[in-house]
Every structure is written in structure tokens, then in C-alpha cells.
Amino acid sequence: MNIKLENISKNFNKRLIIEGVDLQVDFGKLVHIIGSNGSGKSTIFKIICKIIEPDSGSIEFSDQTQLGALIENPSFMEDMSLKKNLQFLGGIKKQFDEEKVIRLTERLGLDYDSKVKVGKYSVGMRQKMGIIQAIMEDQNLILLDEPTRGLDKAALAELKRLIEELIAENKTIIIASHDNLSELNFDEQYLLEEGRLQLN
């Protein structure tokens, strides 16, 4: 088991957003959480990342877990280049494999050496950067929140290949989206509705 959520609940301003959510995901699984806008998908991811605290419930990670996440609109150092941003993010944990990061940026159609400040990047380009930082340090539990947002066809196809490679390396990926992403082969699909998460 890579991650286990038990009976997670969360209120915002006395409104119950997440109610008794259980989720257990094994290594190497590709899992999908589908829910409409505002159903609480990002909230669940933020709880897993400890950005927000649940009102109740518990989360357990396996010892080897290294968490990577793309959540909502990723924020970057807006007046810096892509390279500076990724070097900075990779430097935090001293796990920066620059060759690997260059390969990832090329695959997703970004220019690693571009001088353009990321504040000038489009939604899709920022999304690609967000995907790169979520996987570039060999993270083995990867959360991708609406990862296809703003991506063109070529980038979508590349993302699909990347996901398949990561799963083949026994990494765990949880994707949240409002659409059904039928191009991906999920091992498990859950529906998030009225705060409750149910196997679909």
C-alpha cells in the first residue's frame, strides 16, 4: 500500500466539502478521481500534501513514499526563467538531475534554455512545468490535478506516454479531473459526489 486515507472529512465555513473519504492505493496503480467543478478534488489533494488539515480522519504513507504533486494553478517565481525555476525547485531536495529535466522539457515541448520569464507563459506551458516538477525528482506517489488543462494534442499524447512509463516503473499516480480522460487506462476510477468518494 502506497497511501491510505481513512474517513477524511473537511468543512469550509461550516459547509461539509469532504465527507468520510476512504482511499487506498497500491504501488504502480493509476487511479482516477472524477468530480465536477467544486466537488472537492483539489481539497483532497491539498489534504494529502498537508497544505490543509482535515477536520478528521487519517492518512498513512508507505515508508518509501516520495510525494510529487501538481495542484490547481501551480505558482512559480514569475520573473524567472523556466530553467531557474526548475533548478530552484530541484535544489530544495538536492535531487536535481539536470539531464533528466532537460529531456522532460523537450518531450513536453518546452525550451529549457528559454530566457522568457514564466510569468509570460500560457496556461498550458505552466501546466507542463507543473507536471515536470511533480515527477522530476523520481517521486513515486504523484498527484496530478486536472493535468490536461491547456495542453495541446501533442502534449496530451506525450503526457499519456509519460504516465505509462511511470506506472511501468511501479510509481503510483492519482489523477483528479472533471472529465473522464478516456485516453488513459485507469486501474481504478472513483467518483467524488456530494463530498463522498465512491468506486465507479
Ligand X SMILES: Nc1ncnc2c1ncn2[C@@H]1O[C@H](COP(=O)(O)OP(=O)(O)O)[C@@H](O)[C@H]1O
Positions in the binding site for ligand X (CB under 6 A): 12-13, 17, 35, 37-43
Q: Which residues have CB under 8 Å from 156's CB, separation 6+?
A: 148, 183
- Pick the closer one to ligand X by CB: 71 or 86: 71
The CB-of-193 to ligand X minimum distance in angstroms stands at: 11
Decide: 183 and 16 in contact? Cβ < 8 Å.
no
- Pick the closer one to ligand X by CB: 38 or 91: 38
Decide: 66 and 141 in contact? Cβ < 8 Å.
yes
Decide: 147 and 177 in contact? Cβ < 8 Å.
yes
Residues 16-75 close enough to bind Mg ion by CB under 5 A: 41-42
Decide: 159 and 144 in contact? Cβ < 8 Å.
no
The CB-of-67 to Mg ion minimum distance in angstroms stands at: 18
Instruction: Give bridge partners of residue 4 from the DSSP assignment.
Output: 24, 60
- Pick the closer one to ligand X by CB: 41 or 126: 41
The CB-of-111 to ligand X minimum distance in angstroms stands at: 30
Q: What are phi and psi of 165, to 5 degrees?
A: -65, -45
The CB-of-104 to Mg ion minimum distance in angstroms stands at: 24
Binding stretches for Mg ion (CB under 5 A): 41-42
